[in-house]
Amino acid sequence: MKAILILEDGKIFEGVAFGSIKNEVYGEIVFNTSMSGYQEILTDPSYKGQFVVMTYPLIGNYGVNDDDNESISSQVEGFVIKELCCYPSNFRSKKSLNEYFKEQDKMGIMDVDTRAITRHIRLQGAMKAGIFTNFNDVDSLVNKVKNSMDITAKDMVKELTCKEAFYWNQTGKIKIAVLDCGVKYSILDNLKKRNCLVKVFPATIDVESILDFNPDGIFLSNGPGDPKGADYVYKTISKLLGKKPIFGICLGHQMLGLAIGAQTYKLKFGHHGGNQPVKDLNTNKVSITAQNHNFCVDIESLKAKDIKITHINLNDKTIEGMESEELKFFSVQFHPEAGPGPNDATYLFDKFIDNINKNRK
């Protein structure tokens, strides 16, 4: 079925709908530069509320399997691709991407010029968008896109966080409390691999419940949207600073920034993909990292708080990491667990364990 993608500024791209066909879907549109890993991208909770444009032209060639999900379901609002492979070939494949989208009740659009869309977003910035299969009155649809939900300052965390605390792993010598803002499965698996007993708590949990668990360390997860939209999270974190070793990733990094009194702001088109170069200022080593975020901690407000900056993005010099020995935390904006992406930065999970062991002594 024919479909059109309409951007907030009136730009229109014609294509073909796939998956679960609907009259209309809305989201904020961003582009991802990964060449593989579309299943992990689709199930990454950090993409809640967004359309993802894949810059790599062929998507779906190895199908969808049972092992690579990063959450319980597909999280994107829509998927924008150049070419869909309907006959995947891989020994792990269980279904095609089109079949998966029908199963998940999600719609995508294919046969569009993803290169042109990416260039447009790069110049104009991330914006609201809509995919439509009924487009008799295009002008009215442009207005509907303009009036659709703005995820800036909206609480997206409450839509994804677990309702009750649960154990991901009940054996291990190191007790970790995970604050779930939309945590990825591969993060939890990385903690499990390091002999951690992992308990996941809702983002709305109170400080007393976390401390009653008496964790050796506290992990702050990734998640979607604007950190300022979920103020209860960073207010809770502010009361945990200095009590236990803390490690934050992505949204957890931004929440830590707000918890210490720094500021966050929205990037023009964000960082999304598996090829972002990040320099570790402690070692001068450069890692190629996986990233997925639209917001960033402001560098000047961080310097004013006398917090050590540990990592920077070599593309645009934005902050990618910070730490405080006094407050017992460190955090990074990128994803050391990858899923998908390179594994250059998995050493940060080991650093978390080292910090916990030092604190025990």
Residue 101 in this model has a pLDDT that exceeds 90: yes
Q: How crowded is the C-beta side of 356, counted as CA atoms within 13 Å? A: 23
- CB distance 247 to 328 below 8 Å: no
Identify the pLDDT of residue 277: 98
Nearest Cα residue to 133 out of 115, 112, 108: 108
Per the annotation, the verdict on 335 as an active-site residue is: yes
Closest CA to 29 of 2, 56, 11: 11
* pLDDT given for residue 151 in this prediction: 87
* Number of Cβ within a 10 Å radius of residue 149: 12
| Separation between Cα atoms, residue 268 and residue 53, nearest integer Å | 16
Fold for the domain defined by 157-360: Rossmann fold (3.40.50)
Q: What does the pLDDT look like over 245-268, one tens digit per residue?
A: 999 999 999 999 999 999 999 999
Q: Residues 114-139, buried b or exposed e (16+ Cβ, 10 A)?
A: beebbebbeeebbbbbbbbbebeeee
Residue 96 has pLDDT above 90, yes or no: yes
Measured between alpha carbons, how far is 203 from 158 in angstroms, rounded to an integer? 8
Rg (CA), the chain: 20
Tell me how far apart the alpha carbons of residues 358 and 352 are, in angstroms, rounded to a whole number: 10
Contact between 113 and 255 under an 8 Å Cβ cutoff? The reply is no
Q: Is 337 a catalytic residue?
A: yes
| Residue 248 CB coordination number (10 Å) | 27
Helix, strand and coil content of the chain, in percent to the nearest 5, comes to: 25, 35, 40
E strand residue ranges, 117-172: 127-132, 166-169
Top CATH class of 2-146 equals alpha beta
What are the residues whose beta carbons fall under 8 Å from the beta carbon of 42, sequence distance 6 or more? 52, 74, 75, 76, 79
Please tell me which residue in 8, 28, 320, 337 is annotated as part of the active site.
337
**Burial letters 249-268, b for 16+ CB under 10 A, else e:** bbbbbbbbbbbbebebebee
Tell me the mean pLDDT in the region 293-300.
96
Interstrand relation of 217-220 and 107-110 (parallel, antiparallel or unpaired): unpaired
The tokens of 141 are what?
Answer: 């649809």
- Catalytically annotated residue among 250, 272, 311, 323: 250
CA geometry: angle 191, 68, 252, nearest 5 deg: 45
Domain borders along the chain are 2-146, 157-360
* Catalytic residue (one of 120, 272, 311, 335): 335
Asked if 240 contacts 278 with a C-beta cutoff of 8 angstroms, the reply is: no
Residue 340 preceded by cis peptide, ω within 30: yes
pLDDT band at 361 (very low <50, low <70, confident <90, very high): confident
Say whether pLDDT at 153 is over 90.
no
**Which ranges in 35-96 belong to alpha helices (H)?**
38-42
CB neighbours of 45 closer than 8 A, spacing ≥ 6? 70, 71, 75, 160, 182, 183, 184, 222, 223, 224
Each residue's pLDDT tens digit, 34-90? 999 999 999 999 999 999 999 999 999 999 999 999 999 999 999 999 999 999 999
Tokens encoding 283:
């070692």
